[in-house]
Structure 1
Amino acid sequence: MENSIASLHAAESEEIKPYKIHVSSKYLDLTKKKLELTRLPHEVFLPREREWELGTPKSEIEPLIDFWLEHYTWRQRETHLNTTLPQYRTALSLPTYPPSPPLRIHFLHIKSPHTHALPLLLLPTFPLTNLSLTPLFAPLTSPSSPTSTQPFTLIVPSLPGLGFSDAFASSSTSSSSLENTAALCDALMKRLGYSHYLASATGSGVESPAGIDYHLLRILGAKHRDSCLGIHVVEPCVRAPTLREQPVAWMKFAVARLFHGSMFGYEKADFLALKAEEARLRQEKSESKSKPGLSSALSVGDEQRPLLGGRRGQSKAGHRAIGILGLREPNTFAYALCDSPVGLLSLVLSALRRRSLNHMLSHTEIIDVTQLAWLPGPEAGARFWAAALEEVEDFDKPGKRGEGERRIEDNEGGKEKEKSRVAVTVFSSDGCDGPSYICPAWASSHHSILFSQRAPGRPGIAVWEKVDVLVDGIRGLAREVERVDARLKLKPLEEIVVFEEPILEVDGEESGRERDGESVDFSAWSGEGGSVGEGEEEGHGMQLEVESPDTVVAINMRREE
């Protein structure tokens, strides 16, 4: 009996189910009430040019609260996402002992119309979801010149606990959140039939919380290099080599810097950027001496450094200001954000501004980002972040280089493998306020660098503002990997089996579905994903304290031909 149940669970866990977002109307009503009952803090008067000095000002957040209440309609956004993006969810088991329940991972599978497309795992910049990466999809899947420009078939998951992916359920699994997430991503690609693939970040590693955008790709490329044939990273969390830890790399850096020459992976642009940074830092130091009190703590450049990240080149990026609020105790941090959509909106506004001072995101796009964090609850993201901090510090402690590398890169027998292949994209900042410049060659201590590019300015919100740079980095990686590895070819799955349950229609309306002899009441759902009336709402009996706010819309299931 136990064996049969285990077999049944195993079969169910391998299903790939089309997914449609449908948030409970009760949850949307709760959100509206919380917005209406918001109590905003009293403000200290500051001149307009200094109004962001203490964080998100009331003048910025009040119009967005009004927009959220009066003009923003989640049902319209929900319908748009459901009709434009091919969404799926599948349950994947974690490589843990004792075994833990599978996690349902929400992902997009966007197939290119071109037969020579390559499979690409596209990871959202933390803490965004896969639904926020839409500006990248068309340029990657359907380039204007597909014969001369490499197209890709995209697989875009949401990380565990973000969007509509399940969160890690226990401390034993979340304590290795990055390693387990990398294993889940690799398992997802193999389940979809992609035995070999490329992977890319979509945001700056050093400006992401705990360096997640870099370290997750780093682990994926190192521990799953037999299937992940190359990774593209943006501003990796690496430092200049030192004489004590990397004498050979240090000597190469010193020689290249002395001659400002293009050698050992360095370019003249690297040294121009480093020189501009040194001049900026001298100016910061000089100006900070004349700023007493709080202004001294927020010296030039610090005001624009990411609230959710750290200085470029630091391995412990990700807990600068937020750490003061208790990120080491994520539950303490989560209570405030789980109960206040406006508090979460304030954090989003601050993070967006510090990433890109003059970003052009619309009110709708800002509320979309906030809503996709608010609906599933931000607590899982906070725990993922806190666990990632501990995990990164475990294998990247200064003065203990090697322990972490062995943990990531050694095979089971303890023999060191070749370095993972990587394409590196960095930004020069053009001498503007911001964290330190990173030379692509510094990543050679962890990776085999196949391609590198240096872009002007800051990374900003790369998903929206640096699409061309990200796409060029991904294509540069693909071009170089294809030259050295013949395994990188698209081998589409001959047949993907997708299990779906039929919808029962009564008088032209969806009234329920049958599943294993059970009938599920759909009386609370509207046919077009629109608003649900109060009379219908009684039908689903959702418990907000226990269940997720999302449900899956049943649609006619068929075996793809």
Structure 2
Amino acid sequence: MNEPLTPFRIDVPQEQLDDLRERLRRTRWPDPEPVADWSQGVPLSYVRDLCRYWAEEYDWRATEARLNALPQYVTEIDGVRVHFAHVRSPHPDALPLVLTNGWPGSLTEYLKVVEPLTNPPDPADAFHLVLPTLPGYGFSGKPTTTGWGVQRIARAWAELMARLGYARYGAAGSDWGTSVTTSLGQQDAARLAGIHVIPPIAAPDPATFDDLTDDERATLEALEHAGEHESGYSAEQSTKPQTLGYGLVDSPAALCAWIVEKFRSWTERPDLLTRDELLDNVMLYWLPGTGASSARLYWESFRQVSEWFTRTNDDTIDVPTGCSVFPREVPRPSRRWAARRYTDIRWWHEPPRGGHFAALEEPELFAEELRSFFRLVR
């Protein structure tokens, strides 16, 4: 028997907000970094100013109201509560689309694109939008056993779409959402109109190394740099997420710095993101205390996805696929690398602007990427 879909509304007790402000005011700060840039992490002056704003001026209730304007539900799948927003288009023939974010993103990442996707200028481009929260993230449940990797999450998403009555649907995602969407393309191909990934999981192909394009050569250099200077977070989260979690769940300043560093590193134009937008996202980790539980997805799946990335000729995905590669993404695979895994690429585009959080940075470009691909497969 199907589990019920229970309406859900965010209602954070005032005591939690008061506790947050008190913790921020009592933060024990480290000494300043002895460098003049972000090479050692988030500068003390930056995070202190952001946390001061968080404690004294930030308005959670306004964000709570914006989130509660979305129809939200919870349902139990495979023993874990799944929280999701389900925004139906006013156009009845809209294509159902399950859209998945990753770490350190959240539902707030998509607030700017809900209206353009569900009610676009051309009704033929409309989607019924399903925005699930990964297990261990946000207001979804926290798995109490191991095994909740990207493949199990993909199975849960397939079940969710079936419970919603969608016999045919599209899937899209970025970051962990790319991995979940790719796995959906393998597990639920018969029901999928197509998948869209930002960017595709594509290994550099050694067979091309004697004939690299300038962009491919730049990608290899960027991967080497990222491995040496930007991978500390993934090493910790994929090996010792519990140890890390004590600080992230107890200290809002630590959580803020841990997450905001990635928004700075992975965003093409960090100045486009407001302090409120950054803190809206941090709050969906702070309020439900998901510093450890969200990091565990790295422990579950980072090695597997790394193997996908290093292998070039197995685990193919044969459903129609759209790929968008924004300029700030690392890695930025080439189409010929991606085509070894995604065998039916119908759409490949490299937008002129944007980075890892494209729906937040460049919502118009993000929405048009999805519309352009799914026009081909509706």
Q: TM-score, normalised by structure 1?
A: 0.62
- 2:142 maps to 1:231: no
Identify the match of residue 110 of structure 1 among 76, 82, 87. 87
Q: Which residue of 2 aligns with 1:438?
A: 333
Q: Which residue of 1 aligns with 2:303?
A: 390
Q: Which residue of 2 aligns with 1:124?
A: 101
- Look up the SS of the partner of 2:288 in the other structure: coil
Question: How far, CA to CA, are the matches of 2:52 and 2:97 in structure 1?
Answer: 39
Q: Which residue of 1 aligns with 2:39?
A: 53
Question: How far, CA to CA, are the matches of 2:102 and 2:237 in structure 1?
Answer: 22
- Note closer, same or farther for the CA distance 1:357–1:61 as it changes in structure 2 (3 Å cut): farther
Task: Give, in angstroms, the shift of residue 341 of structure 1.
Answer: 0.5
- Look up the SS of the partner of 1:120 in the other structure: strand
Task: Give, in angstroms, the shift of residue 440 of structure 1.
Answer: 2.0
Question: How far, CA to CA, are the matches of 2:330 and 2:346 in structure 1?
Answer: 25
- Look up the SS of the partner of 2:231 in the other structure: coil
Task: Give, in angstroms, the shift of residue 301 of structure 1.
Answer: 9.4
- 2:246 maps to 1:335: yes
Unaligned residue ranges in structure 2 (runs of 5+): none
Question: How far, CA to CA, are the matches of 1:44 and 1:85 in structure 2?
Answer: 41
Identify the match of residue 89 of structure 1 among 74, 86, 106. 74
Q: Which residue of 2 aligns with 1:511?
A: none
- Note closer, same or farther for the CA distance 1:326–1:364 as it changes in structure 2 (3 Å cut): closer
Q: Percent identity?
A: 28
Q: Which residue of 1 aligns with 2:184?
A: 220
Q: Deviations over 1:411-453 (max 9, x none)?
A: xxxxxxx722211112356xxxx74542123222222111111
Q: Give the alignment of 1:132-531 within 5 angstroms.
A: 132-146=109-123, 149-171=124-146, 173-174=147-148, 177-201=149-173, 203=174, 208=175, 212-243=176-207, 271=213, 273-274=215-216, 277=218, 302=225, 305=226, 320-323=231-234, 325=236, 327-356=238-267, 358-359=269-270, 360-377=272-289, 378-393=291-306, 396=308, 398=310, 402=314, 405=315, 419-428=318-327, 435=330, 437-447=332-342, 448-482=344-378
Q: Deviations over 1:38-91 (max 9, x none)?
A: 011111444xxx332211112111221211111123233323322x21111111
Question: How far, CA to CA, are the matches of 1:115 and 1:181 in structure 2?
Answer: 28
Question: How far, CA to CA, are the matches of 1:150 and 1:38 in structure 2?
Answer: 48
Would you say the 8 A contact 1:21–1:78 is kept in 2? yes
Question: How far, CA to CA, are the matches of 2:237 and 2:327 in structure 1?
Answer: 32
- Note closer, same or farther for the CA distance 1:44–1:185 as it changes in structure 2 (3 Å cut): closer
- Note closer, same or farther for the CA distance 1:399–1:440 as it changes in structure 2 (3 Å cut): closer
Q: Deviations over 1:80-128 (max 9, x none)?
A: 322x211111112x2xxxxxxx211111111111122111111123332
Would you say the 8 A contact 2:193–2:320 is kept in 1? yes
Would you say the 8 A contact 1:273–1:428 is kept in 2? no
Question: How far, CA to CA, are the matches of 1:437 and 1:161 in structure 2?
Answer: 28
Letter of the aligned partner of 1:424 in structure 2?
C
Would you say the 8 A contact 2:83–2:140 is kept in 1? yes
Question: How far, CA to CA, are the matches of 2:364 and 2:132 in structure 1?
Answer: 21
Letter of the aligned partner of 1:479 in structure 2?
R
Would you say the 8 A contact 1:326–1:332 is kept in 2? no
Would you say the 8 A contact 1:161–1:168 is kept in 2? yes
- Look up the SS of the partner of 2:142 in the other structure: coil
- Look up the SS of the partner of 1:126 in the other structure: coil
Identify the match of residue 65 of structure 2 among 70, 79, 90. 79
Would you say the 8 A contact 1:141–1:154 is kept in 2? yes
- Look up the SS of the partner of 1:156 in the other structure: strand
Letter of the aligned partner of 1:438 in structure 2?
P
Question: How far, CA to CA, are the matches of 1:141 and 1:326 in structure 2?
Answer: 35
Which of 1 and 2 has greater Rg? 1
Would you say the 8 A contact 1:182–1:220 is kept in 2? yes
- Look up the SS of the partner of 2:320 in the other structure: strand
- Note closer, same or farther for the CA distance 1:398–1:345 as it changes in structure 2 (3 Å cut): closer
- Note closer, same or farther for the CA distance 1:156–1:274 as it changes in structure 2 (3 Å cut): same
- Note closer, same or farther for the CA distance 1:44–1:17 as it changes in structure 2 (3 Å cut): closer
Task: Give, in angstroms, the shift of residue 329 of structure 1.
Answer: 1.3
More helix by share: 2
Q: Deviations over 1:328-354 (max 9, x none)?
A: 011111111111000011112211110
Q: Which residue of 2 aligns with 1:42?
A: 31
Question: How far, CA to CA, are the matches of 2:155 and 2:239 in structure 1?
Answer: 25
RMSD: 2.9
Unaligned residue ranges in structure 1 (runs of 5+): 1-9, 95-101, 244-249, 259-270, 285-299, 312-317, 410-417, 483-561
- 2:34 maps to 1:70: no
- Look up the SS of the partner of 2:190 in the other structure: coil
- Look up the SS of the partner of 1:441 in the other structure: helix
